[in-house]
C-alpha cells in the first residue's frame, strides 16, 4: 500500500497517525539553585540527587553559587540565583539560608544546617511552616558532645578553646558548652572566626592561652576552610576535634557526628518531595539518627600523642 493512501485510510478509520505514535516530548530539566559558603554542596549534592532519582542534565540543572568562605558575598549570590528562576534553592548553613529566604518572598528553600530552631528559621521541626524545610544535624548537642570527647582525648587537659564563627554561635550553644565545662571542671575560651585572618588569630590566641585542645564548632565557614584549620592545629601541635567524621579522613585528628554523605541523602529526599509538589512548610525537618567517630592515628603520631584505648575501642573507624 502506498504511504499517502494508508494515511488517508488511517485517518478515516479514526486510527492514530504515525506522528501521534511517537514518544511524548521529554520535559525540560528543572532548575535548582545551590547556595553554599564552600564547595561541599557542589561535590555532594549531585550524587545524592542521582541516588534519589534526579540525574543532573537529564532531570535537573544545578546552578551553584559559592561564597568561597566570604559571608558578605551571600546576598548578591542569592540574588543571582533568583534571577535564574529556579524551582527552589538548596542552602547549606544558616547564613546561606538567611540569604536565600531574603532574596525572594515566594521561592521554596531546602536547607541543611545545625540548629534550625535556634537560628529562628523555623517554628518547629515537625511542621516548620513558611517556605523552608530541610535537614537539621543537631548542631548544639553535638558541639557539646565533642567537647566531652576532647576532654577524654586529652585526659590531663583542663583548658580548651571552642572555635566557632559569629553566624553559628547562639545562646543555646553557649549554655550547652558552659554546662559541659562545669560538669567536667574545664576552663573553656570562646573565640569566633569569620574571616581567614581571624582563623589564624584564633590559633595564635590558643597558643597564647596554652590550651590543651581545640573544639572546632559546627560551622559551614570553618568547614570551607578546614584545610587551613588542620594545618594550623598541626603547626601549633594542638589536638582538635571536628564536626564531620570525614574531616579526620582529610588529616584532622578526630571527627564526630553524622555522615556528611547521609546528610546530603536526606537533603536530596527533601528536594525530590518539594519538586514533586509538596509544600516545604508541611514537610517535617529531617534529623540524623546515626553518628560516627573517626580517629586519625597518623595525625596523632605527628602530634606526639597517644589516643586513649577506650576511645579507640569506641571508634567506628581508625585511620593509619
Domain extent listing, the chain: 30-138+260-282, 139-257+291-319
**Tell me: the pLDDT tens digits for 185-216?**
999 999 999 999 999 999 999 999 999 999 99
Q: Which CATH number fits domain 30-138+260-282: 3.30.450.70, 3.40.50.2300, 3.40.50.11030, 3.20.20.70?
A: 3.40.50.2300
pLDDT at residue 23, rounded to an integer: 53
Mean of pLDDT values over 157-165: 96
- pLDDT, tens digit, 9 for 90 and up, residues 269-288: 999 999 999 999 999 999 99
Indicate the pTM of the whole model.
0.86
- Under a CB-based contact definition with an 8 Å cutoff, are residues 267 and 22 in contact? no
% of residues, the chain, pLDDT over 70:
92
139-257+291-319: same fold as 30-138+260-282? yes
11: pLDDT strictly greater than 50: no
- State which CATH number among 3.40.50.720, 3.40.50.2300, 3.20.20.70, 3.40.190.10 fits the domain covering 139-257+291-319: 3.40.50.2300
Kindly state the average pLDDT of the residues 121-131: 91
**Spatial contact of 168 and 197, defined as CB atoms under 8 Å apart:** no
DSSP symbols for 110-171:
EEEES-TTTTTS-S-SSS--TTEEEEE--HHHHHHHHHHHHHHHSTT--EEEEEE-TTT--H
Cell numbers given for 252: 584532622
Q: What confidence score (pLDDT) does residue 290 get? A: 95
Mean pLDDT along residues 76-100: 96
C-alpha cell at 116: 534550625
The pLDDT tens digits of the residues spanning 22-55 come to 555 677 899 999 999 988 899 999 999 999 999 9
d(CA 224, CA 38): 5
φ and ψ at 308, to 5 degrees?
Answer: -55, 140
Angle of the 260-275 helix axis to the 40-51 helix axis, nearest 10: 60
Cα–Cα distance list, 58 to 30, 53, 85, 289 (Å) = 9, 10, 18, 32
Per the prediction, the chain carries an average pLDDT of 91
Amino acid at each position: 500500500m502506498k504511504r499517502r493512501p494508508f494515511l488517508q485510510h488511517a485517518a478515516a478509520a479514526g486510527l492514530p497517525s504515525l506522528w501521534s505514535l511517537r514518544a511524548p516530548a521529554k520535559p525540560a530539566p528543572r532548575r535548582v539553585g545551590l547556595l553554599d559558603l564552600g564547595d561541599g554542596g557542589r561535590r555532594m549534592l549531585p550524587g545524592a540527587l542521582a541516588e534519589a532519582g534526579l540525574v543532573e542534565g537529564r532531570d535537573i540543572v544545578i546552578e551553584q553559587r559559592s561564597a568561597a568562605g566570604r559571608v558578605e558575598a551571600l546576598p548578591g549570590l542569592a540574588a543571582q540565583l533568583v534571577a535564574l528562576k529556579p524551582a527552589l534553592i538548596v542552602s547549606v548553613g544558616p547564613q546561606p539560608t538567611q540569604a536565600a529566604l531574603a532574596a525572594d518572598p515566594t521561592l521554596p528553600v531546602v536547607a541543611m544546617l545545625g540548629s534550625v530552631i535556634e537560628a529562628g528559621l523555623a517554628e518547629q521541626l515537625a511542621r516548620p511552616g513558611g517556605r523552608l524545610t530541610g535537614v537539621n544535624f543537631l548542631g548544639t548537642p553535638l558541639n557539646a558532645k565533642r567537647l566531652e570527647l576532647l576532654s577524654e582525648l586529652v585526659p590531663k587537659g583542663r583548658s580548651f578553646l571552642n572555635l566557632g564563627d559569629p553566624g553559628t554561635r547562639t545562646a543555646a550553644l553557649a549554655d550547652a558548652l558552659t554546662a559541659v565545662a562545669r560538669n567536667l571542671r574545664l576552663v573553656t575560651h570562646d573565640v569566633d572566626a569569620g574571616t581567614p585572618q581571624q582563623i589564624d588569630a584564633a590559633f595564635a590566641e590558643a597558643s597564647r592561652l596554652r590550651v590543651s585542645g581545640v573544639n572546632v564548632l559546627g560551622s559551614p565557614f570553618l568547614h570551607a576552610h578546614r584545610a587551613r584549620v588542620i594545618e594550623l592545629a598541626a603547626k601549633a601541635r594542638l589536638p582538635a576535634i571536628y564536626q564531620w567524621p570525614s574531616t579526620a579522613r582529610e588529616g584532622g585528628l578526630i571527627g564526630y557526628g553524622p555522615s556528611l554523605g547521609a546528610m546530603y541523602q536526606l537533603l536530596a529526599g527533601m528536594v525530590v518531595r518539594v519538586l514533586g509538589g509538596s509544600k516545604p512548610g508541611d514537610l517535617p525537618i529531617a534529623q540524623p539518627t546515626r553518628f560516627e567517630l573517626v580517629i586519625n592515628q597518623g595525625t596523632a603520631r605527628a602530634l606526639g600523642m597517644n589516643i586513649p584505648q577506650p576511645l579507640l575501642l569506641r571508634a567506628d573507624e581508625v585511620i593509619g
